[in-house]
Amino acid sequence: MGQRLFAIREAKGISRKDLAEFLKVTKTQISDMENGKSGTNLDRFYQLCEFYQVSADYLLGITDDPTWRGK
């Protein structure tokens, strides 16, 4: 999941600082998630899917199809 989080954040030109502010966490926590040092809770995971408009399956590496199936 971390590699996908990093790749999508970079592709969209979003800084760790901006993502951290959106999720109400620290930049270090974003870095740790992207480097596979830590995970996240379900609420933040849902927020990440919404923020990036990608499916949970995509972030989890179950599929390479990032199609958003949100609201």
pLDDT tens per residue, range 12-38: 999 999 999 999 999 999 999 999 999
Per the prediction, the chain carries an average pLDDT of: 93
- Which pLDDT band holds residue 67 (cuts at 50, 70, 90)? confident
Which residues are CB-contacts of 12 (< 8 A; sequence separation ≥ 6)? 52
Mean pLDDT calculated for residue range 57-63: 91
Give how many domains the chain has, as a whole number: 1
Lowest model confidence (mean pLDDT) among 22-26, 44-48, 60-64? 60-64
- Residue 12 domain-assigned? yes
- Residue 31 domain-assigned? yes
- Residue 46 domain-assigned? yes
- Residue 66 domain-assigned? no
Range of 53's domain? 2-60
- Residue 67 domain-assigned? no
- Residue 13 domain-assigned? yes
- Residue 52 domain-assigned? yes
Measured CA to CA, the distance from residue 55 to residue 20 in angstroms comes to: 20
CATH number at residue 40: 1.10.260.40
**0.75 exceeded by the pTM?**
yes
DSSP letters, the chain, are -HHHHHHHHHHTT--HHHHHHHHTS-HHHHHHHHTTS----HHHHHHHHHHHT--HHHHHTS-S-------
